């Protein structure tokens, strides 16, 4: 009895790995031929709707199912619009389908109604703008953004244009008060169209400046015209343009500028992209 037991064990030890190896071999060899993935690939190669979507400049492969679902629900939209809307998460629910902002994206971090900063996020390199460059209560910006802002303001001064920060970095707590004030006055629904909920305000990044006057008449000033022509050269973009309100989720704000760095600002300017559109294609899709 004792002898037999000792004899059996090594045989099992030998056979078991062989059985496992054969099983793994079959799993890996069988699967690709029979899973629906191959059917999907064939469908993708022949479906004219998919082929047309794929020719769009900002097409992202991993978004394909979302493009198809979105175009089904919005049959009148062009392919270009379908791509941009889905890339900007318009098929998701604002303030509900949310995720944490990737702060490692640094100057390019995206904060909007789908991406939020936590209550404790405060940039470590905030600097305070002097009265030469600032006119408001929230006079802080992150160092690199502030340096470029001052450079931009100095350049404008040479053209007899005054550019001052009216509102820069705003803490989470500050936004709590601001949003509550608006929501009480106009109701949450109305407040959501022009004010960010706490954590969802780009001002918390320290990369933003509301310039000169925070109202729509700013559009008629020489300062605005100067910024239209020159802001991108200093790394700033008009964050909520008039014709892209659905993409950004915000009403047009001629005064709100966002620092993204000079290289990216130029590219966004040249390709007429919002940060939502740029981020999806060039950052997330990398
Ligand atoms: Zn603003």
Domains and CATH numbers, the chain: 39-87 (no CATH), 99-284 (3.30.1380.10)
pTM of the predicted protein model: 0.83
- Expressed in angstroms and rounded, the spacing between residue 238 Cα and the centre of ligand 1 is 10
> What percent of the chain has pLDDT above 70?
88
The CA-based angle 221-225-230, given to 5 degrees, is: 140
User: Is the Cα torsion angle 61, 64, 70, 75 positive or negative in sign?
Assistant: positive
pLDDT of amino acid 19: 74
In three-state secondary structure terms, 128 is strand
Cα–ligand 1 centroid distance for 239 (angstroms): 9
Is it the case that residue 157 has pLDDT exceeding 70? yes
| Residue 10 Cα to ligand 1 middle (Å) | 73
Distances (CA, A) of 131 to 136, 138, 163, 210: 9, 12, 11, 15
CA of 95 to the centre of ligand 1 (A): 18
Give pLDDT, residue 30: 55
Q: How far is the CA of 177 from the centre of ligand 1 (A)?
A: 15
pLDDT of the residue at 15: 77
- Tell me the CA–centroid distance for residue 110 and ligand 1, in Å: 14
Side-by-side strand order, sheet with 208-211:
165-167, 208-211, 256-259, 236-238
CA of 137 to the centre of ligand 1 (A): 13
Residue 209 Cα to ligand 1 middle (Å)? 6
pLDDT digits (tens, 9 = 90+) for 194-239: 889 999 999 999 999 999 999 999 999 999 999 999 999 999 999 9
- The CA 76 to ligand 1 mean position distance, Å, reads 33
Segment 246-270 shows an average pLDDT of 96
Task: Output the CA 54–ligand 1 centroid distance in Å.
Answer: 36
What Å distances lie between residue 275 and 89, 127, 267, CA to CA? 12, 24, 11
Bridge partners of residue 142, in order along the sequence: 126
Measured distance between the N- and C-terminal CA atoms of the chain, rounded to whole angstroms: 65
Give the integer Cα–Cα distance in Å for 99 and 14. Answer: 49
Q: pLDDT grade, residue 97 (50/70/90)? A: very high
In this predicted structure, what is the pLDDT of residue 34? 53
Contacts of 269 (CB under 8 A, 6+ apart): 232, 237
Determine the distance separating the centroid of ligand 1 and the alpha carbon of 208, expressed in angstroms.
7
What is the C-alpha to C-alpha distance for residues 259 and 206, in angstroms, rounded to an integer? 9
271 C-alpha vs ligand 1 centroid, how far in Å? 23
DSSP string, 72-90: HH-TTS-HHHHHHHHHTTT
Tell me how far the alpha carbon of residue 257 lies from the centroid of ligand 1, in angstroms: 7
Backbone angles phi, psi at 108, to 5 degrees: -105, 10
Tens digits of residue pLDDT in 107-150: 999 999 999 999 999 999 999 999 999 999 999 999 999 999 99
pLDDT attached to residue 184 = 96
What is the CA angle 144-147-149, rounded to 5? 105
Instruction: Kindly give the distance from the C-alpha atom of residue 72 to the centroid of ligand 1, in angstroms, as a whole number.
Output: 35
Enter the tokens of residue 153. 């303001």
* Centroid of ligand 1 to alpha carbon of 156 (angstroms): 20
């Amino acid at each position: 009895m004792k002898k037999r037991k000792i004899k059996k064990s090594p045989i099992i030890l030998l056979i078991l790995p062989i059985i496992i190896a054969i099983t793994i071999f079959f799993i890996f060899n069988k699967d690709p031929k029979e899973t629906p993935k191959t059917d999907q690939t064939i469908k993708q190669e022949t479906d004219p709707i998919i082929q047309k979507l794929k020719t769009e400049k900002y097409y992202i492969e991993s978004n394909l199912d979302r493009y198809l679902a979105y175009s089904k629900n919005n049959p009148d939209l062009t392919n270009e619009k379908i791509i941009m809307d889905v890339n900007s998460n318009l098929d998701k629910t604002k303030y509900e389908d949310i995720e944490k902002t990737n702060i490692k994206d640094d100057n390019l971090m995206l904060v909007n109604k789908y991406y939020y900063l936590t209550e404790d996020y405060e940039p470590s390199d905030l600097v305070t703008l002097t009265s030469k460059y600032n006119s408001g209560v929230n006079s802080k910006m992150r160092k690199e953004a502030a340096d470029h802002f001052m450079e931009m303001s100095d350049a404008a001064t040479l053209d007899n244009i005054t550019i001052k920060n009216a509102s820069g970095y705003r803490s989470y707590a500050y936004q709590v008060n601001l949003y509550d004030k608006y929501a009480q006055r106009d109701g949450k629904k109305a407040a959501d169209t022009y004010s960010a909920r706490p954590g969802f305000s780009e001002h918390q990044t320290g990369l933003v400046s509301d310039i000169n006057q925070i109202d729509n008449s700013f559009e008629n000033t020489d300062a605005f015209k100067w910024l239209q022509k020159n802001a991108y050269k200093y790394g700033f973009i008009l964050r909520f343009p008039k014709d892209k309100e659905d993409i950004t989720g915000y009403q047009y704000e001629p005064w709100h500028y966002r620092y993204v760095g000079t290289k990216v600002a130029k590219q966004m300017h040249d390709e007429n992209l919002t940060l939502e559109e740029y981020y999806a294609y060039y950052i997330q899709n990398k």
